[in-house]
Structure 1
Amino acid sequence: MQFDRIDLEPRTMMGIREIVVMADLTAFYERSFTRVVAALAEQHLAPAGPATAVYHGMPTSTVDVTAGFPVTGPAVAPDGLVLSTLPDGAAVATVYVGPYDGMTRTYDEIATWMQANNLTPHTEMWEEFLTGPQTDPNPATWQTRIVFPLV
């Protein structure tokens, strides 16, 4: 697997932030992504990038997560939604290809690689869903970009 060191530009994201039971994550994503797209459409805006899930700390049986989309322009977060700024600066990224339930190995590999290269990840990281069930019926070809900003 290839890991790339990249430089992130600051980005604003509109989403829903909740503490979610891991088993309920898919339903949370579906609800959040649908609601954010509707909120943007009401403001005559469109997502400025792929559906994104930002993890605030390491998951356990639950996870503190914001699910939504990057935005540009003068977006306003209606009740129940938040606007947040994603960290900028140095980061490590990779693209995982396959079903979502197979991502654990990729996370293990990226953690090992960062440790071997003396890199410290930020407390927040995110997944960008480049392709998925809405655009591709074959889970084996779904693409998820995993991004770890660095301290």
Structure 2
Amino acid sequence: MSSSPQSSQSPESPRPPAPSLSPPSPEAAPAGYPDLGADPVVGVRLLAAEAVPTAVVRAANVRMATISDFFDAAFGKAFPALFATGMTPVAAAFALYTRITEGAEAEVDLEIGFPLGTPLPDGSGDEQADDGLRVVPSELPAGEVAVTSYIGPYDGLGEAWGKLMGEIRAMGREPAVPFWESYVTEPSPDMDPTTLRTDLFCVVGYPDDAA
């Protein structure tokens, strides 16, 4: 992974009028989740998902202006060393956000890593520490998760997130944290950025949950 989104949006986008229809019921997450399959998700699907174990590098107060350096260091150094021990990811790399601020000095708290078939044992990443980066066990959360696919360059992710948040609210649900993006198409120097596929995931609740 040589680059990262520069303008992901938090669930703070303007709220449309409350819908009059009953909120939809979630469908079971597909086999292989968080891998959503070869075809991009058109529109928004609401899934009932189980937790998925992950191996991540966790960081707080990362400035959006320098986030690509963090991605490059973690994916270029910490994870190759871990996977050399025999751990194997079962789906594409992701970035999971637990906090994001707005403005010129925007910062995020996040985890970046890979889904695993079995949990990463505690302490297994200790020897993989490099430049202060440490791979630790975590998970993608269980619950109701809204998903969609975005096709295009990373600089369009902010707009894609804003659209997803609005569509979640139009369904009678409320975006929550964490939310994460899965880099289904691994970028390469010679590829067309307009063909990149990124799957967007957001935990959802009901408007009353935020009261």
Quick check: TM above 0.5? yes
Aligned partners of 2:119, 2:197: CA distance in 1, in Å? 30
Q: Are residues 135 and 120 of structure 1, via their aligned partners in 2, closer, same or farther at CA, if it must alter by over 3 Å?
A: farther
Determine whether 1:52 maps to 2:94. Answer: yes
Greater share of residues in strand: 1
Q: Deviations over 1:37-92 (max 9, x none)?
A: 321322x1211110010001234311101111011235334132221121112111
Distance 2:190 2:88 in 1: 21
Unaligned runs of 5+ in 1: none
* 2:146–2:202 contact (8 Å) kept in structure 1: yes
Map 1:64-83 onto structure 2 (within 5 A).
64-73=109-118, 75-76=120-121, 77-79=124-126, 80-83=134-137
Which residue identity does 1:41 align to in structure 2? A
- What amino acid does structure 2 have at the position aligned with 1:53? A
Percent of pairs with identical residues: 28
* Aligned CA distance change for structure 1 residues 135 and 68 (closer, same or farther; 3 Å): farther
Distance 1:11 1:136, change over 3 A: farther
Aligned to 1:95: 149
From 183, 204, 209, give the equivalent of 1:129: 183
Q: Of Structure 1 and Structure 2, which has the larger fraction of its residues in helix?
A: 1
1:116 to 1:74, Cα distance in 2 relative to 1, 3 A: closer
Structure 1 pair 112/141, CA: closer, same or farther in 2 (3 Å)?
A: same
Answer with 1 or 2: which has the greater Rg: 2
Number of aligned residues: 150
Cα deviation 1:85-134 (Å, max 9, x = unaligned): 21112111111111101112111111111112221223201000000313
